[in-house]
C-alpha cells in the first residue's frame, strides 16, 4: 500500500475554512461550503475546530455499501471516483461513512466524494496551519504521537482538558 | 444595465417587525455601484431611509445589515458584515463591523443584506434558512446569555453549523453600548446596536446558507486569491498577529507613550509588561480561532486556570479590550481582564465603552466624589481587578452604579457631577490610543462620524513609522487622517477585515474587486467613492445638528500636558489640524460639506 492519505489535526485547526473554499472552487469553480468535500466543524463551547475529511479507508464502507457499485478508486491515488451514470443517489454511502464526511450535491442529487484532486489535494495545499496533511500510511501516526506526548493528555492538553474539556475523542466531543 | 457582473447575491431581506413580516427585495445595485458595499451602502441607505430626529431607541430606527461584494467568494479576509443605525449612545450615524462566519453565510443563503425596521410586540428571532425566512417566537430565549442563546438555537434547529447573531441581557435591558454577539466572541461592538436590537424585541438572527455567489472572472480571482494568500503567509504584521493576536501592539504603543492609562490621565502604563502579546502567549493563550477565510487567526483562546476567575474562557482579549479594561483601569492582571471580558461577551456589551465608563467611575472614586455607598460596597480603585469584575457585573445587571454606567460615560459622568472625567467624543467612549501621545489620532477621534473611534482613520502606525517623534507633531496630520479615512472607507465597504489592509495595498483590493465584480476601479475612482461615503456620513450628522462644536476632544487632552512617560508634556493641537482637515475635505469652517464639493461627488440631491 503506497498511496498517500489525508490526515487531520484538530488541535492545529483554527477554523478559517480556507480548505472548504478551495475544495469547492477546484471542483465547481464556486465557493460553497455545501459543495466542499471537507468541512470544518467548530465546537464553540469547547473552542475546538474539527476538520471532517475523507481518510481513504482501507476497506471503505462507502464502496462496500453502494448497491450499484458506483464508487471506485483511482488506481494511482486511491481517491474516490463516482460513476454518475449508475449512481442512484440513495445516500447509503453518506450514512456509512465513519467520519460523516460525505455530503450531497443539492443540484445533482449525487454524493460529493473526495477524489484527492488527482494527487494534489487543494485543502492540504491551502491550509495555513498544516492541520490537514497528505501523508504516506507509514507516517500518519507521527504527528499524533508528538501531539499526545507533548501537548495531549501527557502534556499541555491535560490543562486544556481540565479547563475546556474534550481534548481527546474529537468526534465524540459534540455529543 | 448594472456594471457589477458578480459578487452580489442580488436579493436583500426587509424585515418589518411591527407587521411581523419579512420580504425579499432586489438589492439596490445602483447603491453598490456608487458606494461599493457594506459600510458605504449602509451609510447611503440610512441617510435616505431615516427621517431626521428619530429616536434611536424607537420603532423608527433601523438596523441595516450589509455585506460587501467580496464576501462568500475566494477573497481572503472577506468576512465582515456591517450594521448601520442611529446610535443610542451618540445620536449620530453609526456602524459596526462584525467578523466571524456570519457574512459569508448570509451570502451563501442568497442575501446581500437585511434591513430590520419597526418593533415587535414580543421577543422574536429571525430564521433565515436559504429562501425560507421566518420570524419565530423567542420568549424562551429572552434573558438568556449570548452563548446559551447560540447553543439553544443550534440545538432547537438541530444544526450545529448554523450561524447566529444575538443579543444578551444587556441588549434587552437597553445598555446604551450593548453589542450584537456572533460566533460566541465576535461582535458588532460599538455604538449600541445591541440596544437598538433589544428595543425592537429582536433576540437573534439565525442563518443557514447552502448556495453560492457568482463572480465575474473566476480565473482572475483564483490567481489574485492565490497571490494574496501567499503574501499573507509572509507578511511580518500578519505573522505577528498570527502569533500574539492584536495584543502584539501593546509593547510598541506603551513604549512610545500613547497607551491610555487610568482614565486618560497619562499615556504610559508602568505594568504593561504583564500584558504584552509575548507574555500573554506564554501565560494565557491556549489556541487560536479564526474568522472565515483568514490566515491571521487573531482570536486567541484564553482560559483562566488559577485564582478566583479560574474556569473562565474567552476568545481574546483584543488589544482595545486589554487597553481599556486593563491599562485604562490600571489593571495588569490578565485573569481579571479575561473575567471582565467574559461578562461583556456573555451579557453582550462593548468592552471598550464599558472600560471607559468604569475608568471614569474609578477616577471619581479615587477623588472622593463617589464613595463605597455609591458603588454598592466595591472598592473601585484603579488597578483592582476584583473591583473591575464586580462593577462589570453591575453594568450587566443594570444594578446600582452599574445601572448609571450602562447609560454610557457622558450621561453617567453628568449624573455624577464629573463631566470633565468623561473620555469621549460625541458620547462615544474613546479607544485606547492616548491622543496626546499620537496627535493625529486626536483628529481622528474628533472627526469620526460615529464619535470617538479609532478605526475611522487609524493613523497610529503611520505616525510612528520612520521618525517616532513625528507622532507629537501636527504638521501633515490632517492629510494623513484624510487619506487613511478614505482607505478605511474602501476597506470597510469591501467589508475586508482591517487586518488585511497591512498586506493588501489598494491595488490588490481593487484587483480582487475587479475579479469578483468585473468592474475596473482605479485608485482615484475608489477614493472618490470613499469621499462620497465620508460626506454622506457627515451629512447625516449635520442633519442631526452636529457641527464643529462637537468635533472636539475632552478638555484634558487639549490643555493638560501629558504628565508622564515618553510623550510627557504633549497636548493635542486640535484646532490647527481640524481647520486644515476641513479645507482638505472641502467643508466649510463649521465642518459642513460645501455645495461645490457635494456636486463633485454627485451628492447635490442629498
Q: Does A107 touch chain B (CB under 8 A)?
A: no
Return the ∠ at Cα B26 (arms to B44 and B519), rounded to 5°.
70
- Hey, are the CB atoms on B151 and A32 less than 8 Å from each other? no
> Look-up: residue for cell 491595488?
B507
pLDDT in tens, B1-43: 468 999 999 999 999 999 999 999 999 999 999 999 999 999 9
Residues in chain A with CB shorter than 8 Å from the CB of B292 are 16-17
Q: Does A145 touch chain B (CB under 8 A)?
A: no
Distance, in Å, from the CA atom of A41 to the CA atom of B536, rounded to the nearest integer, reads: 41
Q: For position A161, what pLDDT does the model report?
A: 67
Q: Does B230 touch chain A (CB under 8 A)?
A: no
Q: Does B602 touch chain A (CB under 8 A)?
A: no
pLDDT in tens, A143-162: 877 777 766 656 666 666 66
Q: What is the pTM of this model?
A: 0.97
- Using 50, 70 and 90 to split pLDDT, how confident is the model at B606? confident
Domain B438-502+522-600, CATH class in plain words: mainly alpha
pLDDT in tens, B39-87: 999 999 999 999 999 999 999 999 999 999 999 999 999 999 999 999 9
Q: Which helix (H) or strand (E) holds B246?
A: none
Pick the CATH number of A5-136 from 3.40.640.10, 2.102.10.10, 3.30.70.20, 3.50.50.60: 3.30.70.20
Q: Measured between CA atoms, how close is B136 to chain A, in angstroms?
A: 23
pLDDT at A9 over 60: yes
Q: Measured between CA atoms, how close is B33 to chain A, in angstroms?
A: 23
Q: Measured between CA atoms, how close is B293 to chain A, in angstroms?
A: 5
Chain B contact probe: residue of A43, A128, A171, A172 with most B CBs at under 10 A: A128
A 152-171 residues inside an 8 A Cβ radius of B: 156, 159-160, 162-164
The values of phi and psi at residue A117, to 5°, are 50, 40
pLDDT at A88 over 60: yes
Q: For position A174, what pLDDT does the model report?
A: 39
Q: For position A151, what pLDDT does the model report?
A: 67
Handedness of CA B590, B596, B602, B603 (dihedral sign): positive
Average pLDDT over residues B334-349: 98
- Hey, are the CB atoms on B108 and A35 less than 8 Å from each other? no
Domains in chain B: boundaries = 11-208, 240-429, 438-502+522-600
- Hey, are the CB atoms on A11 and B233 less than 8 Å from each other? no
Report the half-sphere exposure of B327 (CA within 13 A, side-chain side): 33
Contact status, residue A25 vs residue A117, Cβ threshold 8 Å: no
Q: Can you spell out the DSSP letters for chain A? A: ----EEEE-GGG-----HHHHHHHHHHHSS--GGG-SSEEEEEGGGTEEEEE-----TT-HHHHH-TT--EEE-TTT--EEE-TTT-----HHHHH-TT---EEETTTTEEE---GGGG--HHHHH-TT--EEEE-GGGTTHHHHHIIIIISTTTHHHHHHHHH--SS-GGGTT-
> Which residue does chain A place closest to B302, by CA atoms?
A47
Q: Does B346 touch chain A (CB under 8 A)?
A: no
Give the count of Cβ contacts less than 8 A between chain A and B.
94
pLDDT at B461 over 80: yes
pLDDT at A11 over 90: no
Q: Count the helix, strand and coil residues of chain B and give each as a percent rounded to the nearest 5.
A: 45, 15, 40
Contact status, residue B495 vs residue B99, Cβ threshold 8 Å: no
Average pLDDT over residues A9-16: 92
Provide the 3-class DSSP secondary structure of residue B25.
strand
Q: For position A157, what pLDDT does the model report?
A: 64
Level-2 CATH architecture, domain B11-208: 4-Layer Sandwich (3.60)
Domains in chain A: boundaries = 5-136
Q: Does B287 touch chain A (CB under 8 A)?
A: yes
Mean pLDDT of chain A: 89
- Using 50, 70 and 90 to split pLDDT, how confident is the model at B488? very high
CATH topology of domain B240-429: 1.10.569
Average pLDDT over residues B176-193: 97
Contact status, residue B26 vs residue B10, Cβ threshold 8 Å: yes
Average pLDDT over residues B288-309: 94
Same fold, B11-208 and B438-502+522-600: no
Contacts of B476 (CB under 8 A, 6+ apart): none
pLDDT at B478 over 50: yes
Distance, in Å, from the CA atom of B516 to the CA atom of B74, rounded to the nearest integer, reads: 9
B 170-189 residues inside an 8 A Cβ radius of A: 183-184
Q: Does A29 touch chain B (CB under 8 A)?
A: yes
Looking at per-residue confidence, does A145 or B387 come out higher? B387
Residues in chain A with CB shorter than 8 Å from the CB of B316 are none
Amino acid at each position: 500500500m503506497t498511496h498517500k492519505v489525508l490526515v487531520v489535526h484538530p488541535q492545529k485547526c483554527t477554523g478559517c475554512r480556507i480548505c472548504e473554499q478551495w475544495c469547492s472552487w477546484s471542483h465547481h469553480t464556486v465557493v460553497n461550503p455545501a459543495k466542499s468535500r471537507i468541512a470544518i466543524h467548530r465546537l464553540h463551547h469547547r473552542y475546538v475546530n474539527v476538520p471532517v475529511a475523507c481518510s481513504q479507508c482501507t476497506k471503505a464502507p462507502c464502496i462496500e455499501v453502494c448497491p450499484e457499485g458506483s464508487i471506485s478508486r483511482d488506481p494511482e491515488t486511491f481517491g474516490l471516483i463516482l460513476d454518475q451514470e449508475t449512481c442512484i443517489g440513495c445516500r447509503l454511502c453518506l450514512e456509512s461513512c465513519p467520519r460523516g464526511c460525505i455530503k450531497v450535491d443539492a443540484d445533482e442529487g449525487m454524493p460529493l466524494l473526495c477524489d484527492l484532486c488527482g494527487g494534489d489535494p487543494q485543502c492540504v495545499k491551502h491550509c495555513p496551519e498544516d492541520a490537514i496533511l497528505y501523508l504516506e500510511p507509514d507516517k500518519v501516526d507521527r504527528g499524533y504521537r508528538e501531539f499526545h506526548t507533548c501537548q495531549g493528555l501527557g502534556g499541555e492538553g491535560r490543562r486544556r482538558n481540565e479547563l475546556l474539556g474534550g481534548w481527546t475523542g474529537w468526534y465524540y466531543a459534540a455529543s | 444595465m448594472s456594471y457589477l457582473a458578480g459578487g452580489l447575491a442580488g436579493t436583500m431581506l426587509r424585515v418589518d417587525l411591527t407587521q411581523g413580516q419579512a420580504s425579499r427585495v432586489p438589492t439596490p445595485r445602483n447603491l453598490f455601484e456608487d458606494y461599493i458595499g457594506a459600510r458605504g451602502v449602509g451609510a447611503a441607505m440610512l441617510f435616505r431611509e431615516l427621517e431626521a430626529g428619530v429616536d434611536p431607541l424607537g420603532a423608527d430606527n433601523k438596523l441595516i445589515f450589509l455585506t460587501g461584494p467580496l464576501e462568500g467568494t475566494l477573497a481572503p479576509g472577506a468576512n465582515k458584515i456591517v450594521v448601520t443605525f442611529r446610535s443610542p449612545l451618540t445620536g449620530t450615524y453609526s456602524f459596526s463591523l462584525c467578523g466571524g462566519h456570519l457574512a459569508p453565510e448570509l451570502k451563501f443563503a442568497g442575501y446581500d443584506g437585511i434591513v430590520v425596521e419597526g418593533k415587535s410586540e414580543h421577543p422574536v428571532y429571525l430564521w433565515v434558512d436559504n429562501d425560507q425566512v421566518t420570524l419565530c417566537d423567542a420568549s424562551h430565549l429572552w434573558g438568556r446569555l449570548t452563548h446559551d442563546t447560540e447553543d439553544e438555537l443550534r440545538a432547537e434547529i438541530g444544526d450545529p453549523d448554523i450561524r447566529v447573531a444575538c443579543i444578551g441581557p444587556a441588549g434587552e435591558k437597553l445598555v446604551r453600548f450593548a453589542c450584537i454577539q456572533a460566533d460566541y466572541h465576535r461582535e458588532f461592538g460599538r455604538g449600541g446596536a445591541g440596544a437598538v436590537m433589544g428595543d425592537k424585541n429582536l433576540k437573534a438572527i439565525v442563518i443557514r446558507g447552502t448556495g453560492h455567489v457568482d463572480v465575474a472572472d473566476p480565473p482572475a480571482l483564483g490567481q489574485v486569491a492565490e497571490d494574496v494568500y501567499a503574501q499573507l503567509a509572509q507578511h511580518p504584521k500578519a505573522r505577528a498577529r498570527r502569533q500574539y493576536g492584536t495584543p502584539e501592539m501593546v509593547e510598541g504603543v506603551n513604549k512610545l507613550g500613547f497607551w491610555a492609562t487610568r482614565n486618560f490621565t497619562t499615556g504610559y502604563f508602568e505594568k504593561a509588561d504583564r500584558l504584552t502579546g509575548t507574555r500573554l502567549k506564554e501565560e494565557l493563550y491556549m489556541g487560536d480561532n479564526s474568522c472565515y477565510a483568514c490566515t491571521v487567526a487573531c482570536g486567541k483562546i484564553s482560559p483562566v486556570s488559577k485564582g478566583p476567575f479560574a474556569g473562565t474562557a474567552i476568545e481574546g482579549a483584543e488589544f482595545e479590550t486589554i487597553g481599556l479594561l486593563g491599562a485604562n483601569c490600571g489593571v495588569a492582571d490578565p485573569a481579571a481582564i479575561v473575567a471582565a471580558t467574559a461578562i461583556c461577551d456573555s451579557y453582550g456589551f462593548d468592552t471598550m465603552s464599558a472600560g471607559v465608563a468604569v475608568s471614569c467611575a474609578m477616577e471619581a472614586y479615587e477623588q472622593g466624589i463617589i464613595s463605597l455607598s455609591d458603588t454598592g460596597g466595591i472598592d473601585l480603585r484603579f488597578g483592582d481587578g476584583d473591583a473591575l469584575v464586580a462593577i462589570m457585573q453591575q453594568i450587566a445587571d443594570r444594578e446600582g452604579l452599574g445601572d448609571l454606567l450602562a447609560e454610557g460615560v457622558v450621561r453617567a459622568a453628568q449624573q455624577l457631577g464629573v463631566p470633565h472625567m468623561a473620555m469621549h467624543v460625541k458620547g462615544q467612549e474613546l479607544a485606547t490610543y492616548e491622543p496626546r501621545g499620537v496627535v493625529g489620532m486626536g483628529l481622528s477621534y474628533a472627526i469620526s462620524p460615529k464619535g470617538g473611534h479609532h478605526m475611522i482613520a487609524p493613523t497610529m502606525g503611520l505616525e510612528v513609522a520612520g521618525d517616532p517623534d513625528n507622532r507629537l507633531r501636527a504638521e501633515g496630520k490632517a492629510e494623513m487622517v484624510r487619506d487613511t479615512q478614505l482607505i478605511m472607507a474602501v476597506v470597510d465597504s469591501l467589508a475586508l477585515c482591517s487586518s488585511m489592509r497591512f498586506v493588501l495595498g489598494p491595488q490588490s483590493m481593487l484587483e480582487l474587486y475587479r475579479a469578483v465584480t468585473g468592474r475596473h476601479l482605479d485608485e482615484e475612482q475608489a477614493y472618490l467613492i470613499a469621499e462620497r461615503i465620508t460626506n454622506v456620513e457627515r451629512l447625516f450628522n449635520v442633519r442631526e445638528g452636529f457641527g464643529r462644536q462637537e468635533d472636539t476632544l475632552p478638555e484634558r487632552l487639549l490643555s493638560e500636558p501629558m504628565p508622564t512617560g515618553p510623550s510627557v508634556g504633549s497636548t493635542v493641537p486640535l484646532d490647527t489640524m481640524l481647520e486644515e482637515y476641513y479645507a482638505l475635505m472641502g467643508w466649510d469652517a463649521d465642518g459642513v460639506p460645501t455645495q461645490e464639493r457635494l456636486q463633485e461627488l454627485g451628492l447635490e440631491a442629498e
